[in-house]
Amino acid sequence: MEFTFYKYQGTGNDFILIDNRQELFPKNDTKAIADMCHRNFGIGADGLILLEEHLEADFTMVYYNSDGRPSSMCGNGGRCIVLFAKLLGLIEEKAAFEAVDGMHYATVDGNTVSLKMQEVPNVSVEEAHCFLDTGSPHHVTMVDDVYTHAVASEGKRIRNEIYGAQGANVNFVSLKESDTFIVRTYERGVENETLSCGTGVVAVALAMYAMGKAQSETLSIETMGGTLEVQFDASEVGFRNIYLIGPAQQVFKGTYVL
């Protein structure tokens, strides 16, 4: 069986995208999805995304981590699928789609996608870290120098020792300058550091504001794969009108044989 696939990346976070509106893809075949995402024996990607029909919205987003298992919301993947939908002619400059965490809305300006995320009613601020759910669970901790920090080993330890089998994504953050932060993220499901994590970038922005490390409601977050912007409205009952803004790009198109 052959499938046409598209490879997209958003600040280095890369995904296999497939038009599954005909529902032909074996979406319950965990091994097949993991094999496709494998960087040596497959296409290579941080995750796989299926675009499917929706009765009322423009489309449905179905996301899998590179281990082949369905996962929680992926912010960069959400930005990439919006551009994919535009390529398919499903949208023009605006999109409405449903993901695992509910409805999302986006606008497209060239290759820049502004994606509205879900409201975040609570940020748990602890002595040494924050925990919050931005569509995916995130642990956020500040370090002196994120570039030299042992992200893979320390991220793996925190992900497993603190959060157990379900796990959480682990973000290490350093302040670059006023309202600009640098982040490196260890992602569960990928079980390694990725060049960028959209929900992690949102988590970092909200955590920095909640911790009093930022004063603006528009923050610049630098990842190893590029820079993203997060805009939000803070209130006494949490954060709303949260937007993840940044570039996405089609890298190539091909045929995969299962």
Q: How far is Cα of residue 101 from the mean position of the Cα atoms in its chain?
A: 12
Residues sharing a CB contact under 8 Å with residue 25, sequence separation 6 or more, in sequence order: 3, 18, 50
CA distance to 132, 190, 210, per residue, from 125 (Å): 9, 26, 8
Stretch (H or E) spanning 171: strand 169-177
Stretch (H or E) spanning 201: helix 198-210
Cα–Cα distance measured from residue 196 to residue 185, given in angstroms and rounded to the nearest whole number: 7
Q: Residue 197 catalytic? A: yes
Tell me which residue of 208, 236, 210, 185 sits closest to 76, measured CA to CA.
Answer: 185
Cα–Cα distance measured from residue 122 to residue 155, given in angstroms and rounded to the nearest whole number: 23
Q: Residue 74 catalytic? A: yes
Cα–Cα distance measured from residue 21 to residue 59, given in angstroms and rounded to the nearest whole number: 9
- The catalytically annotated residue of 37, 74, 80, 130 is 74
Active site residues: 74, 197
